[in-house]
């Protein structure tokens, strides 16, 4: 039993030991796993120790060559971070632009170095990692992770500085805007400069030279860093606003709402020419010079920016107004307007070429200017060549019913004189020369003179036709007297009269005298003889007979006088000197004879109860009546209409007669 008990105790103790051992093994399991996990790292750590000494020695130079550039790159990165305070400090740009640009230059240089070398350094590090892996000199997993990281570093990145360059450029752009805004006051006294005799000099720049230099420096850095479009937009908006504000006081609304009638366009065209000269030679020339100074050698940028500024100045609106003049209703006065517009553009031709010529950004301005010039030349030549035909077509229109001068005559005389004036003649000659050159033909000033003289001579040929249209021959004499005298008086001492010659003018003066003579002879010259004294015997036996004869002759005189006066009261002599002379002749023909007759024979009837039937006028009353004859009354324009050569009246060409009263 003792043996059994001892065996039981031994068995129990063995079980307890087994249980304790099991518990110890359970507790040691995790530690074993940890040791198992650590074994690869330990193996990797001791691998270089285990590696052959020759391979380890060979890896050293490779590692040194790779680490050297990487260390330089890291040093530059540290330098970049050191530039943040001076570049991001408030007021740094305005306070010391030169210093700021110097620091920015260092940043740009550092970024260029990083851009050029970061990838190369990463590649060299990747190569050494690959070398270590190939020679089993490091942990493969560590090398794999490192290779992924280096692969990302080899790719170029635009954010090597963490956005520092972009922030610095934003501050430069803000300073660029500020400088422009601080010097963007509109041109003062624009109207005063406009009203001077010449606007041929550019307006003085309101931006100081020092500021222009700063703008140029900033612009160079911004454009060099890819901000060209933003710079151009900022500059064009700022300077375009200055130009717009400078012109606002001029009242340019008329450019957008032109009338379509040439007569009414006159003041607008004159103002347009002055405004256009002011804009081109003063404002835009100043802006061109400023653009060139700010943009320096960047000619394309300067051109593009200047084109935007010119658009703000409404240069296309000016050209559109000129086109509206070219598209106005066809009218002889339109020729003058076209010549005025062409002359204004021609005076600015060199300025247009300097400002807009050869610039891609100004192609639209070039094209519209070229098209406008062609419209002006073609339109002016068309009207000028049609003038002769239009005058000839007027030949069959009725003359004025009052015997006055047709307004066509007044109009053509003044119109042709204006065409030959110093203002229009050289311009018209140039227009005709250009038009002929397009057709490979030549033109001379003599041809222009002959064309104008032919118009005047065609008008002269109308006189006889018009005079024959009157039913009353005496009225036709008055008409011819008026017209020839008007012709002579308004052509004498004029350029047109000089070309026609003294002999030609004297013929018209002689015609006036002739028709005045026949007018007096066939009208009032037949009235005064009615007061003749034939058969009047003033003695006692013949008194009754004489009285009856006086009554009869006074009655006949009154009837003839009344009829003549009634008719001629509706007739006119427009020229005051000729009217006074004619009235004087009429008074001289009638009043002395009437006075003498009434002094001698008036007493025979004045005591008669029916005296008022025969003595209707006093001498003074008669003289006043006759002295008031032929005074023109206001009359409506429009007796003549312009016809096309197909003989159809057109509203577009009505105006020769309508325009005759005022040629502006």
Kindly report, residue by residue over 345-358, the tens digit of the pLDDT. Answer: 999 999 999 988 87
Residues 256 and 148 in one domain: no
Residue at 354 is within a domain: yes
Residues 129 and 218 in one domain: no
Looking at 118, 135, 154, the residue that finishes a domain is: 154
pLDDT in tens, 615-650: 899 999 999 999 999 999 875 544 334 444 444 333
Residues 34 and 123 in one domain: yes
Residue range 130-139: average pLDDT? 58
Residue at 351 is within a domain: yes
Residue 224: predicted pLDDT? 86
Q: Is the pLDDT of residue 381 over 90?
A: yes
Residues 117 and 244 in one domain: no
Residue at 646 is within a domain: yes
Residues 262 and 382 in one domain: yes
Residues 150 and 286 in one domain: no
Q: What's the gap between Cα 80 and its chain centre?
A: 53
Residues 319 and 214 in one domain: yes
Residues 534 and 619 in one domain: yes
Looking at 111, 139, 154, the residue that finishes a domain is: 154
Residues 117 and 229 in one domain: no
Q: Is the pLDDT of residue 548 over 60?
A: yes
Q: Is the pLDDT of residue 153 over 70?
A: no
Overall size of the chain counted in residues: 664
Q: Is the pLDDT of residue 162 over 90?
A: no
CATH number at 558 reads 1.20.1280
Residue at 487 is within a domain: no
Name which of 86-90, 209-213, 507-511 the model is least confident about.
86-90
CATH number at 216 reads 1.20.1280.170
Residue 525: predicted pLDDT? 93
Residues 232 and 91 in one domain: no
pLDDT over 70, % of the chain: 73
Q: Is the pLDDT of residue 598 over 50?
A: yes
Structural domain count, the chain? 3
Range of the domain at 248: 206-388
Name which of 69-83, 410-424, 587-601 the model is least confident about.
69-83
Q: Which residue has the higher pLDDT, 173 or 534?
A: 173
3-state secondary structure string across 450-490: HHHHHHHHHHHHHHHHHHCCCCCHHHHHHHHHHHHHHHHHH
Residue 493 zone, left/alpha/beta (φ > 0; ψ -120 to 50; rest): left
Average pLDDT, the chain: 80
Residue at 95 is within a domain: yes
Residue at 458 is within a domain: no
Query: How far is 255 from 316, CA to CA, in rounded Å?
Result: 10
Query: How far is 265 from 258, CA to CA, in rounded Å?
Result: 8
Q: Could you count the other beta carbons within 10 Å of the beta carbon of residue 356?
A: 23
Looking at 111, 126, 154, the residue that finishes a domain is: 154
List strand residue ranges (DSSP E) for 165-308, in order. none
Tell me the C-alpha to C-alpha distance, in Å, between residue 614 and each of 145, 587, 602: 143, 20, 10
Residue range 196-209: average pLDDT? 63
Q: Is the pLDDT of residue 367 over 60?
A: yes
Residue range 367-396: average pLDDT? 94
Residue range 298-305: average pLDDT? 86
Residues 122 and 222 in one domain: no
Residue at 489 is within a domain: no
């Amino acid at each position: 039993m003792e043996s059994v008990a001892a065996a039981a105790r031994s068995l129990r103790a063995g079980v307890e030991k087994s249980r304790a051992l099991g518990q110890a093994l359970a507790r040691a399991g995790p530690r074993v796993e940890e040791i198992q996990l650590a074994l690869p790292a330990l193996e990797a750590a001791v691998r270089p120790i285990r590696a052959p000494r020759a391979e380890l020695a060979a890896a050293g130079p490779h590692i040194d060559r790779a680490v050297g550039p990487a260390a330089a790159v890291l040093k530059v990165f540290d330098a970049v971070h050191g530039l943040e305070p001076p570049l991001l400090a408030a007021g740094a740009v305005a306070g010391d632009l030169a210093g700021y640009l110097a620091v920015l230059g260092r940043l740009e240089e550092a970024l260029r170095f990083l851009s050029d070398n970061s990838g190369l350094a990463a590649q060299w590090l990747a190569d050494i990692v690959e070398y270590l892996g190939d020679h089993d000199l490091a942990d493969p997993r560590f090398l794999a992770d490192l290779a992924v990281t280096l692969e990302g570093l080899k790719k170029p990145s635009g954010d090597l500085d963490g956005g520092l360059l972009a922030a610095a450029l934003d501050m430069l752009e803000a300073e660029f805007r500020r400088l422009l805004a601080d010097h963007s006051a509109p041109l003062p006294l624009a109207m005063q400069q406009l009203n001077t005799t010449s606007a041929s000099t550019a307006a003085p720049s309101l931006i100081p030279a020092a500021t222009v230099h700063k703008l140029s420096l900033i612009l160079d850095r911004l454009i060099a860093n890819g901000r060209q479009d933003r710079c151009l937009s900022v500059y064009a908006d700022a300077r375009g606003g200055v130009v717009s504000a400078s012109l606002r006081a001029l009242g340019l609304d008329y450019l957008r709402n032109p009338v379509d009638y040439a007569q009414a366009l006159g003041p607008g065209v004159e103002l347009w020419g002055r405004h256009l000269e002011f804009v081109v030679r003063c404002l835009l020339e100043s802006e061109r010079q400023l653009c060139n100074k700010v943009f320096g050698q960047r000619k394309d940028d300067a051109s593009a920016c200047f084109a935007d500024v010119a658009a703000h100045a409404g240069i296309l609106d000016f050209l559109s107004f000129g086109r509206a003049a070219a598209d106005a209703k066809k009218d002889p006065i339109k020729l003058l307007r076209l010549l005025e517009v062409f002359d204004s553009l021609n005076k600015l031709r060199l300025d247009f070429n300097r400002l807009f010529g050869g610039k891609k950004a100004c192609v639209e301005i070039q094209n519209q200017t070229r098209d406008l010039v062609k419209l002006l030349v073609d339109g002016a030549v068309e009207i000028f060549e049609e003038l002769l035909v239009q005058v000839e077509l007027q030949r069959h229109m009725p003359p004025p019913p009052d015997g006055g001068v047709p307004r066509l005559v007044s109009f053509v005389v003044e119109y042709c004189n204006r065409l030959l004036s110093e203002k229009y003649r050289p311009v018209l000659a140039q227009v005709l020369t250009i038009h002929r050159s397009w057709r490979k033909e030549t033109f001379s000033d003599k041809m222009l003179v002959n064309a104008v003289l032919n118009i005047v001579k065609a008008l002269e040929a109308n006189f006889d036709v018009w005079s024959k249209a009157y039913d009353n021959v005496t009225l036709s004499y008055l008409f011819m007297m008026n017209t020839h005298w008007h012709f002579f008086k308004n052509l004498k001492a004029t350029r047109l009269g000089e070309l026609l010659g003294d002999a030609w003018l004297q013929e018209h003066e002689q015609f006036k005298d002739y028709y005045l003579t026949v007018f007096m002879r066939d009208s009032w010259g037949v009235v005064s003889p009615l007061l003749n004294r034939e058969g009047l015997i003033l003695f006692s036996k013949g008194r009754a007979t004489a009285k009856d004869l006086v009554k009869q002759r006074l009655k006949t005189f009154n009837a003839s006088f009344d009829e003549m006066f009634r008719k001629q009261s509706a007739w006119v002599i427009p020229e005051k000197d000729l009217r006074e002379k004619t009235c004087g002749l009429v008074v001289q023909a009638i009043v002395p004879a009437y006075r003498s007759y009434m002094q001698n024979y008036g007493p025979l009837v004045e005591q008669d109860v029916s005296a008022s039937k025969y003595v209707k006028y006093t001498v003074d009353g008669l003289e006043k009546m006759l002295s008031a004859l032929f005074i023109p009354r206001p009359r409506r324009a429009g007796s003549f209409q312009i016809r096309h050569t197909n003989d159809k009246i057109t509203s577009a060409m009505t105006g020769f007669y309508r325009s005759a009263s005022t040629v502006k």
